[in-house]
Amino acid sequence: MNQLTNLWRLMRPRQWVKSSFVFTGILFAGAWRQSQMVQRVLLAAVAFSLAASGVYIINDLIDRSQDLHHPRKKLRPLAAGKVSVSAAIAVLIVLLLAAFALGFLVSTRVVAILSIYVLVNIAYSVHLKHVVILDVFIIASGFMLRILAGTMGVGIAPSQWLLLCGWMMALFLGFAKRRAEIYALSDDGPTHRRVLTHYQPVLLDHMIIVTATCVILSYSLYTMSPATIQTHHTESLIYTVPFVIYGIFRYIYSLHRQSAGGDPALQIFSDPHLLLAIVGWLLVTLWLIT
């Protein structure tokens, strides 16, 4: 039983919340009324969740010796020796096979997007995570590929404004992650993640401000876009903007006051204010476009 628990932890199921980005297209394209489309998006989301778990295992296999120097990562199953390398590789193979099988049921485009996601993250784990700025762009690309899987992958034309907003949000989360790591790690931090030696807190604060501003502006412009108004037959989506602003500001507050933000998936469920902002935005959005 303990072995199954450790294997479950190895997969990091809480990170599956990131697959919610797959549903962006079906929500704002109004395609959620089509049962077949909903089924395809759900399959794409599950496929991405399984592929993400596989990617995390690859990263843990590569970093298991370095994770021993991290205050929290040293407790991960591989680093702590609770899961063997052979068992981790076996789970990795099963996860990736299942992910690509589900992706194939949706479309070949989803398979291609999953392939890019896995290959990019392998490159990230091996080398690109040590390249300043580019490392955050690689992290952000994972969120964008999820959006593309839920739009282009299922035959939905993605809105340019939503793609821009999604990209800025992904960069915001990426730079916030690096800022949280600087808060959390002691003098051994640069040894664990070399790229942190190239980041200064003031630099990351500037980048967080820029990307947060871009998120708010791009989403606000999306809600007022003539194409958006024509698609959803309402000019009232502008009233969802305060939820976005509050959520962004709350995330920044938690980052600086509580040293949180290193793990967006954990932060969402640990901060009731942030969770309320997300749920409120979702409910009001659904109410306005239904």
226-252 pLDDT, tens digit each:
988 888 888 999 999 999 999 999 999
Altogether, the residues listed in the chain come to a count of 290
Tell me if 73 sits within 8 A of 64, measured CB to CB.
Answer: no
User: What is the distance between the alpha carbons of residues 10 and 4, in angstroms, rounded to a whole number?
Assistant: 10
Does residue 22 lie within any of the structural domains? yes
Same domain, 166 and 126: no
149-169 pLDDT, tens digit each:
999 998 888 888 888 999 999
- Indicate the pTM of the whole model: 0.87
Does residue 193 lie within any of the structural domains? yes
Does residue 150 lie within any of the structural domains? no
Does residue 249 lie within any of the structural domains? yes
Does residue 148 lie within any of the structural domains? no
Does residue 140 lie within any of the structural domains? no
Same domain, 105 and 217: no
Burial class (CB in 10 A: 0-12, 13-18, 19+), 225: middle
Burial class (CB in 10 A: 0-12, 13-18, 19+), 32: middle
Does residue 144 lie within any of the structural domains? no
Q: How many domains does the chain have?
A: 2
Same domain, 18 and 112: yes
Q: Domain span at residue 259?
A: 159-290
Spatial neighbors of 78 by CB under 8 A, at least 6 apart, are: 10, 57, 60, 61, 64, 67, 85, 88
Same domain, 210 and 119: no
62-84 pLDDT, tens digit each:
877 776 766 677 667 776 667 78
Cα dist from 220 to 26, 96, 120, 156, whole Å: 19, 38, 31, 22
190-219 pLDDT, tens digit each:
455 677 888 888 999 999 999 999 999 999
Same domain, 5 and 116: yes
Does residue 228 lie within any of the structural domains? yes
The residue that leads in pLDDT, 144 or 187, is: 144
